[in-house]
Amino acid sequence: MNIGKDNVYQGLQVHNSVVQPLLTDLYQITMAYAYWKSEKTTDTAVFDLFFRHNPFQGEFTIFGGLEECLRFLENFRYSDSDIEYLKTALPPTIEQSFFTYLKKLTAKDVTLYAIDEGSVVFPRVPLIRVEGPLIVTQLLETTLLTLVNFSSLMATNAARYRMAAGDNVSLLEFGLRRAQGPDGGLSASKYAYIGGFDGTSNLLAGKMFNIPVKGTHAHAYITSFSDPSELKTKTLKNIKNGKEQNLIELTLSWRTKTSKLLNISESQASDGELAALVSFAIAFPEGFIALIDTYDVNKWHYLGPKQLPVISSFGSGILNFCAVALALNDLGYKAIGVRIDSGDLAYLSNKSRETFILVAKEFNIPWFANLTIIASNDINEETIWSLNDQKHSIDCFGIGTHLVTCQRQPALGCVYKLVEVNSLPRIKLSQDGGKITMPGKKDAFRLFGGDGYALVDMLVMSNETPPVAKNKLLCRHPFDQKKRAFVVPSAIKPLYKVYWKDGQITQYLPDLREIREHVKESLRTLRPDIRRNLNPTPYKVSVSDNLYEYMHELWMRNSPIGELS
């Protein structure tokens, strides 16, 4: 069951029916059969799910996907149609009683330990520890990995965008059309929100996950109009007096006034664009946002240093928007702002802000100066840092392709490794030191310094005494005997909780907003030099002295001894 804050059962609803036991690799089933054939049905195992390197050249990762893993465990069972399919997919030599065995399998004997979803996590510290029957825990591997890998990568990517944008700029996820299929789009919307985005254009994600949905309109809407005369609906109710008024006439009047103020000839403005904006304003008078770069976004007209404070303007879009917004103001409505989707975003946003300030001052409409400026146009993390250096005036970024596809690094690389069988440790050795596993059942602790920042994560053997705050602790690098240090932590936080045991969820599962807040809190525990964009300081992951000795003794015991001749 799913435990609520008031211990009320909250049944988990699987939002994607594809997530079921057959969402796995063939070799998981073939291994299960070989285990079964070897009479290993009573063997128990411990697996660690972890990653080896932080993504995006950074030094932190955000853990995502835990709730999806728990949903999977709750619904883990092979249907009749699954069994019938497996009979056709596997060799005919497979004994039929194996399929009877599979049909009875559930995750009720599995215990899952995990770090809280939304936590900052680091390489080699297991995000999830799975204990239970060897065959079942083996069958969970691929599905757990696919549920954690992209979720964590996506949440981390979004958190990095949030840090680049700062706390005062809104971030909207606009990536559904560029995502890797429908589930990629849904997952991207969900984990972008967890990572710090404020909303999504994805309506299904809004419905399913209660994420705020936001959007404007496309260039197609602007170019679908040719002239104001084609508008069938031309009036809008004045909320001050309740009368219908001709919005086109008001807009044209304001365009004449505004063109003089901004030193832009009305001949530069597209009448088709004007018609489109008037039409959109009639449809959404209280939510009017205009895309203003359809025509002449880069056409700025320099009129000399002795002219008005705004010495240039970019033609059609800004003029038509101001005219419609001022007309709406006459009828008692406040426009929201503009979206710029091409051109020099820093320059155009600053000129837009100058225009709004000038109009606000000239016509005594104070709120006009603070209209929202939204920027899109294939923005990535580096774009935002560059725009920050240029001192832009953007209030909101709409981000799509680079966010939802994680173009900078398309995979996190989580792995799922066997570390114990029947209470005996297992270790994977490799000439590549980075691929050597840390054997045995382990617990993880986060050690904090006196300044409140996290100092180091420490892995210890589950059967050893946990570290104690304000005591001197020896922290060792897992594989380099020369790297070690004493630490006296001011506080210690155990990282693992039992999230699944005896066939049910054992912890309260926070909603997306709570996980989103936990991401913020968790990131605040990292020093700024660890979080920074360029050349961040690596965060240290250590092991206890006992675990170090245990691991290296096992390493030596399992390494073959060479022979000279």
Question: What is the residue-wise DSSP string for 478-494?
Answer: SS-TT-EEEE--SEEEE
Is residue 448 a contact partner of residue 490, using CB atoms and an 8 Å limit? yes
Which residues are CB-neighbours of 432 under 8 A, at least 6 positions away? none
Place of tokens 């923005």: 379
Q: How far apart are CA 279 and CA 252, in angstroms?
A: 13
Rg (CA), the chain: 30
Task: Tell which phi-psi region holds residue 264, choosing left (phi > 0), alpha (psi between -120 and 50) or beta.
Answer: beta
pTM: 0.92
Beta carbons within 10 angstroms of residue 235's beta carbon: 16
pLDDT of residue 198: 98
Locate 525 and state its tokens: 């525990």
Strand 372-375 relative to strand 337-340: parallel, antiparallel, unpaired?
Answer: parallel
How many whole angstroms separate alpha carbon 429 and alpha carbon 347?
55
Residue listed under structure tokens 């490794």: 417
Tokens for 373, please give them: 């400026």
CA distance 298 to 384: 20
List Cα–Cα distances, 132 to 157, 304, 415, 495, in angstroms: 33, 77, 18, 20
The tokens of 456 are what?
A: 């180091």
CA distance 507 to 521: 20
Single-letter amino acid code for the residue at 327: A
Q: Are 141 and 47 in contact (CB under 8 A)?
A: yes
Instruction: Please provide the DSSP assignment of 406-450 as one string.
Output: TTT-S----EEEEEEETTEE-----SSGGG----S-EEEEEEE-T
Rounded CA-CA distance 186/2 in Å is 23
Cβ–Cβ < 8 Å for 48, 437: yes
Q: How many CB atoms lie within 10 A of CB 4?
A: 11
Domains for the chain: give ranges and CATH numbers: 26-159+409-558 (3.20.140.10), 219-394 (3.20.20)
**How far apart (Å, rounded) are the C-alpha atoms in residues 43 and 559?**
25
Nearest to 264 by CA among 295, 220, 219: 295
Give the C-alpha separation, 311 to 302, whole Å. Answer: 6
DSSP assignment, residue 216? -
Please name the helix (run of DSSP H) or strand (run of DSSP E) that holds residue 461, with its range, or none. strand 454-461
> CA 181, CA 200: separation in Å to the nearest integer?
16
Per-residue pLDDT of the chain (565 residues; tens, 9 = 90+): 445 544 433 444 445 678 999 999 999 999 999 999 999 999 999 999 999 999 999 999 999 999 999 999 999 999 999 999 999 999 999 999 999 999 999 999 999 999 999 999 999 999 999 999 999 999 999 999 999 999 999 999 999 999 999 999 999 999 999 999 999 999 999 999 999 999 999 999 999 999 999 999 999 999 999 999 999 999 999 999 999 999 999 999 999 999 999 988 888 899 999 999 999 999 999 999 999 998 854 444 433 333 433 333 367 899 999 999 999 999 999 999 999 998 899 999 999 999 999 999 999 999 999 999 999 989 999 999 999 999 999 999 999 999 999 999 999 999 999 999 999 998 876 656 567 889 999 999 999 999 999 999 999 999 999 999 999 999 999 988 899 999 999 999 999 999 999 999 999 999 999 999 999 999 999 999 999 999 999 999 999 999 999 888 887 777 677 778 7
Residues in the chain: 565
Task: Decide: 515 and 118 in contact? Cβ < 8 Å.
Answer: yes
